[in-house]
Chains A and B, each alone.
Chain A
Amino acid sequence: MDRRKFVQFGVAAGSALLAGDVFGQETKPGAAPSRPSPKRAVFPGGQPAVVTPNGVTLPLKEKGGLKIGHLVAMPVKHTFAPGLEGDCWGYNGRTIGPTIEVVEGDHVRFYVTNKLPEPTTVHWHGVILPNGMDGVSGLNQRPIKPGETFVYEFTFRHPGTYMYHPHFDEMTQMALGMMGMIVVHPRRPKGPPVDRDFVLMTHEWKITPGSRRPDPNEMTDFNVLTFNSKAFPGTEPLVVGRGERVRIRFGNLSAMDHHPIHFHGLTFETTWTDGGEIPVSARRPDTTVLVPVGSTRVIEFVPDELGDWAFHCHMTHHVMNQMGHGMPVMVGADARKIDPKVQSLLPGYMTMGQTGMGEMAEMGMPVPKNSIPMGGGAGPFSSIDMGGMFTILKVRDNPDTADPKGWYQHPKGTVADRADAAAMKADGIDPDARFG
């Protein structure tokens, strides 16, 4: 197969993906539809319900002023992106677990059933509550043994964005995907109301290509980076309206890495941390928000440019899928000096990366089962050669009816393209200019 064929194959494969379910989201009863639900003002002061892309909200029963929820800690079969499945642990059949969405002052009772092969607990990360409800195994409670159901009961006294995760065998249980977001809406919201409210939990995993179980022992070499446990192209885009006020709540329960999340096409302000609301006077415009490990950051913005805007972690290895580091740098090498010799022994071999690695996603080289190395997704112009902690903010005039899978239609003359030779000449541009 020559390179052209690889490219053709890659394009064909990409189209097939696009035609199918590009998000690979298992649709379950109660799961969020791939199209974001129209904004609902269901919380005090007209606050809309939060949307968990690729996720769901925990259903809560109301009973005499008490909100009752049930979390089941359990093994989960999870699809990170088309082609990459994992044997994970999570809550209620998924990772990330369902988003807990309540209002300041809500009195809650959470039943936690352990269907894992080892004990667990739930720690309500960032929530200030009675000490015996804090969930640190051994310190605040005895661990919940497999098969047991514990009950936690407390009041959410402070609005904000929090997280939940186990505090027993944290390394394993979080590495395998046990975590979720908590949103506590204020009873009396301040400031301009938002039209859209999203939660995105960042996380990192080590899954050797061809294996299924994330490696909890990994300390540095994470190769699957996710928003809400999905790696691009498995991440659902966020569809918002031009001129709408949008809130995104980020949480980070990665094992080892902070994530500088960078937005294209807009600036935002960080309005909340997990410690509380940032005074308006202390806010500043940014295009990148650093979300440290163990923290939440809430940003708000009003996009005014239509389009498909990337936002992603800016650590370049965090927007790749399953790249290893067992390879020497190939850039600059002449494949003709290597390939014939290796191919005489191994006809399937092809030197890769000698012109850079950007196009490798399109080559469609056979790779181990259950792996998405050099990942990337189909874009309107070509393959998007990024993976991992990458998704797209789709700014539309009609966000509630727009097709979340559709691409932005650019007005004529607003897409960068090959320069016209005459125009270049007229502008005094010499493409053959030499330097040095």
Chain B
Amino acid sequence: MTTRSFFSFSALTLVLGLSAGCASATLPQHVGEVNDIFAARNRRDLAASVPQDEKDWEKTAAEVPKLLSKPLDADGAVRIALAQNRDLRAAFYEIGIARGRFVQAGLPPNPEIDFGVRRPNDPAQPLQLDIGIEYNLTGLLILPLRKGVAEAELAAERLRVAGRVLDTAYGARTTFYTVQARRQELDLRVRALKAFQAGYAAAEELHRVGNLPDVDLATQRAAVESARIDVAEAENRLLDAREDLNVALGLSGEQTDWTVEAPLPDPPAEEVAPERVEQRAVAASFELQELEARMRVASKRAGLAQTEGTLPHVSGGFHGERDGFAWEIGGHVTVGLPIFDRNQGTVLSARSEFGAQRERYLATATSLRATVRSALNRVESAGRRARHYREAVLPAREKALAETLLQYNAMQVSVFQVLESQRQVTQTGITYVETLLDYWNARAALDQILAGRHRGLALGPAGAAPSNTPSGGGSAEAGH
């Protein structure tokens, strides 16, 4: 080793074969792993579908065109999102990133071979040949620990992506509900506009024959024009909701021609409060499981760093030197003394990381329990309100309308008052739709939590959003 290396090379890859299978893991395989998690939880409906061959990544899953060819429903929207959503697809690839790290961590260090050739100044001397082989023994010893860290990371990543699947499904579902609600709202606003137009038609005719002053006609006209704005705003809200759903479902081009026919369903007659929701939510939580996995990662990382820190760096090798016609052979061992750098900093970081994950786990569990309780409350409250609208408020409004019509027949009130009563029915219908949306969002949120995800829920403020009252109040007075 006293001779200077003439040239050297390293990193001659020795294919050891032990990780050959893993190294070729593909997208369908990553997806399959996540699907297995849901299969184990009996939630096959959340299985994502992807092309069989990764090269076909641009291909549309076979079920998507079928689902898009008929009016969409909420489950169909979820299916499409799981097949098409490209953010979700990206997340699946991220499993591949973690798997790659795991594969990488399982590879033994490569041996290094030195060749050396020296020509002595004395021409009579033959070429001097050196050959040496060097191997990192500590790296080999530490290999199972490194692999353990990477495996724990891979497991955590799978759980993270499973959570993303839930997010995607939930996003598709709630966005779909919003489309339904906005479509119904638009229908009702159009109905309100029609009522104003009918009032205006009556006013126009009565004005034409000299029975109504200009002021009443103008008032009716103003009401119609304001109602048009209400319709235009509702139209815009529907278009926005459609675009949100296109994004959630990963649709573009001709695929965005989908239709929705069914209105938001009425809430079931009696809400059954799930048993032991808190325990079930905690048991199902992907977030908690992922945090547990991250704790394991931190713990293993600390162990690894500690081992690395205390273990002297040992590498060994053999050396051969051909001097003239004879080989001289010997071996050596290099020992790095763990005197100053015993990985103290890395260990400290890893332990702190563990502590941080543990606290985050507890915080998450607390917030999860609160969220599931509030989602349950919301389901019950919104359900009760929606049922009350359906069973009490709407019938009462309709009865009021029928009675107003009778009063009209009895020549007690004007056509304008009849139409005003009709608009009250419409307005109540709009509030009912908002309450239904609140209910179905709450249902989706509760299901989402019980499926394992409690972050990013769109519960919003309690109570139906105060929808715009139809414009042009006071028109009932017209002609009076």
Q: Please give the residue numbers on chain A whose beta carbons come within 8 Å of chain B beta carbons, in ascending order.
A: 208-210, 322-324, 326-334, 337-338, 341-342, 344-346, 348-349, 351-353, 357, 360, 365-368, 371, 373-374
A328 surroundings in chain B (CB, below 8 A): 206, 211-212, 216, 414, 416, 478-480
- On whether the beta carbons of A368 and B211 are closer than 8 Å, the reply is no
| Complex interface: stretch among B28-36, B114-122, B189-197, B269-277 | B189-197
Q: Mark B363-387, 1 if CB is under 8 A from A, else 0.
A: 0000000000000000000000000
Which residues of chain B are near A366, meaning CB under 8 Å? 406, 409
Q: Contact: A374 with B209, CB < 8 Å?
A: no
- Asked whether B415 is an interface residue with its Cβ less than 8 Å from the other chain, the reply is yes
Tell me the smallest distance from the CB of A326 to a CB of chain B, in Å.
Answer: 4
- Asked whether, in the complex, the Cβ of A346 is within 8 Å of the Cβ of B405, the reply is yes
Asked if B202 is an interface residue, CB under 8 A from chain A, the answer is yes
Are B406 and A210 neighbours in the complex by a CB distance under 8 Å? yes
A209 and B479 within 8 A (CB) = no
In the bound complex, residues from chain B placing their C-beta under 8 Å from that of A329 are 206, 211
Shortest beta-carbon distance, B172 to chain A, in Å? 35
Distance of A327 Cα from B209 Cα, bound (Å): 15
A330 and B198 form a contact (CB under 8 A): no
Q: Which 3 A-B pairs have the closest CB atoms?
A: A328-B479, A324-B412, A373-B410
- A324 and B406 CA atoms in complex are apart in Å by 13
Task: Find chain A residues with CB under 8 A from B27 CB.
Answer: none
Q: A348 CA to B208 CA in the complex, in Å? A: 25
Q: A345 near B411 (CB under 8 angstroms)?
A: no
Mark contacts of B395-429 with chain A using CB atoms, 8 A cut-off: 1 yes-contact digit, 0 otherwise.
Answer: 00000011101111111111111110010000000
Q: CB within 8 Å of A: which residues of B?
A: 191, 194-195, 197-198, 201-202, 204-206, 208-212, 216, 401-403, 405-419, 422, 478-480
Which residues on A sit within 8 Å (CB–CB) of B212?
328
Q: How far is the CA of A367 from the CA of B478 in the complex (A)?
A: 23
A410 to B153, CA, bound (A): 111
Decide if A322 touches B211 in the complex (CB within 8 Å): no
Does B413 contact A326, Cβ atoms closer than 8 Å? yes
Cβ contacts under 8 Å, A331 to chain B: 209, 211
Q: Which residues of A contact B407 (CB under 8 A)?
A: 209-210, 324, 368
A337 contacts B410, CB within 8 Å? Answer: no
Contact (Cβ within 8 A) B204 A349: no
In the complex, the chain B residue whose C-beta lies closest to that of A208 is B412
Bound: A296/B50 CA distance, A:
99
Known: A330-B211, A333-B209. 6 other contacts (CB 8 A): A208-B412, A329-B211, A341-B198, A342-B419, A357-B411, A366-B409
B417 partner residues in chain A, CB cutoff 8 A? 326
Report the minimum CB–CB distance from B14 to chain A (whole Å). 83
Q: Which of B194, B197, B202, B479 gathers the greatest number of chain A CB atoms within 10 Å?
A: B202
Task: List the A residue with the shortest CB-CB distance to B212.
Answer: A328
Known contacts being A327-B479, A328-B206, A333-B211, is A345 close to B410, with CB within 8 Å?
A: no
Query: How many angstroms from the CA of A341 to the CA of B208 in the assembled complex?
Result: 17
Residues on the A chain within 8 Å of B405, using CB: 346, 348-349
C-alpha spacing A330/B208, complex, angstroms: 11
A374 touching B205 by the CB < 8 A rule?
no
How far is it, in angstroms, between the C-alpha of A122 and the C-alpha of B478 when the chains are bound?
46
Do A341 and B422 touch (CB < 8 A)? no
Residue among B191, B409, B479 with most chain A CB within 10 A:
B409
A338:B411 contact, CB within 8 angstroms: no
Residues on A with C-beta less than 8 A from B206 are 328-330, 333
**CA of A349 to CA of B421, assembled, Å:** 13
Residues from chain B with Cβ under 8 Å of A346 in the complex: 401, 405, 418, 422
A160 vs B479: C-alpha distance when bound (angstroms): 49
- Contact residue among A344, A352, A368 (Cβ-Cβ distance under 8 Å from B403): A368
Which single member of A337, A349, A360 contacts B411 (CB below 8 Å)?
A360
- Which B residue's beta carbon lies closest to that of A373? B410
Question: With A and B bound together, what is the CA distance between A326 and B408 in angstroms?
Answer: 9
Are A322 and B197 in contact, with the CB atoms below 8 A?
no
- Complex: how many Å from CA A134 to CA B418? 51
Contact of B414 with A338 in the complex, beta carbons under 8 Å: no
Cα(A328)–Cα(B406), bound, Å:
17
Q: List 11 A-B contacts (CB under 8 A).
A: A322-B412, A324-B412, A327-B415, A328-B414, A331-B209, A332-B211, A341-B198, A345-B191, A360-B411, A373-B409, A373-B410
Q: Given A210-B407, A337-B204, A367-B409, A351 and B194 touching (CB < 8 A)? A: no
| Chain B residues near A341 (CB-CB < 8 A) | 194, 197-198, 201-202
| Minimum CB distance partner of A344 in chain B | B194
Closest CB in chain B relative to A321 CB, distance in Å: 10
Decide: A326 and B414 in contact? CB cutoff 8 A.
Answer: yes
Q: How far is the CB of A375 from chain B (nearest CB, A)?
A: 10
Q: Which of A333, A348, A371 has the most CB of B within 10 A?
A: A333
Point out the residues of chain B lying under 8 angstroms from A337, CB to CB.
Answer: 201, 204-205
> B208: which A residues are within 8 A, CB to CB?
333
- List residues of chain A with CB within 8 A of the CB of B204: 337
Task: List the A side residues contacting B416 at CB < 8 Å.
Answer: 328
Residues of A within 8 A of B201 (CB): 337-338, 341-342
B444 to chain A, nearest CB (A): 34
Q: How far is the CB of B410 from chain A (nearest CB, A)?
A: 4
B418 surroundings in chain A (CB, below 8 A): 342, 346, 349
Q: Contact: A345 with B422, CB < 8 Å?
A: yes
From known contacts A337-B201, A338-B202, A352-B411, infer whether A345 and B419 are also in contact, taking CB-CB under 8 Å: yes
Most B CB contacts (10 A, CB to CB) among A352, A353, A366, A368 go to A368
Minimum CB–CB distance from A421 to chain B (whole Å) comes to 32
Q: What's the nearest-Cβ distance from chain A to residue B429, in Å?
A: 12
A293 to chain B, nearest CB (A): 26
- Chain B residues whose C-beta falls within 8 Å of the C-beta of A368 in the assembled complex: 403, 406-407, 410
Q: Which residues of A contact B403 (CB under 8 A)?
A: 210, 368
Chain A residues within 8 Å of B209, by CB: 331-334
How close is A208's CB to chain B, nearest CB, in angstroms? 8
Please state if B411 and A342 are interface contacts (CB–CB under 8 Å). Answer: no
Instruction: Decide if A327 touches B414 in the complex (CB within 8 Å).
Output: yes
Q: Which of B216, B401, B410 contacts A322 (CB 8 A)?
A: B410
On whether the beta carbons of A353 and B410 are closer than 8 Å, the reply is no
Q: Are A332 and B210 in contact (CB under 8 A)?
A: yes
Inter-subunit contact B205/A338 (CB<8 Å): yes
Closest to A367 in B: B410
Alpha-carbon gap, A132 to B445, bound state (A): 81
A342 to B191, CA, bound (A): 11
In the complex, A342→B198 CA distance in Å?
Answer: 5
* Complex: A360 Cα to B408 Cα, angstroms: 12
- Across the two chains, which residue of chain A brings its CB closest to B406? A368
Q: Which residues of A contact B195 (CB under 8 A)?
A: 345
B211 touches A374 (CB 8 A): no
The residues of B that contact A326 with a CB separation of less than 8 Å are 412-414, 417, 480
Taking CB as reference atom, which chain B residue is nearest A332? B209
Distance in Å: Cβ of B54 to nearest Cβ of chain A: 56
Chain A nearest Cβ from B220, distance in angstroms: 11
Q: Which residues of B contact A373 (CB under 8 A)?
A: 409-412
- Which chain A residues lie closer than 8 Å to B479 at the CB level? 327-328
Q: Which residues of B contact A360 (CB under 8 A)?
A: 411
B407 to chain A, nearest CB (A): 6
Tell me the bound Cα distance from A32 to B223 in angstroms: 58
What residues of A have a CB within 8 angstroms of the CB of B412 in the complex?
208-209, 322, 324, 326-327, 373
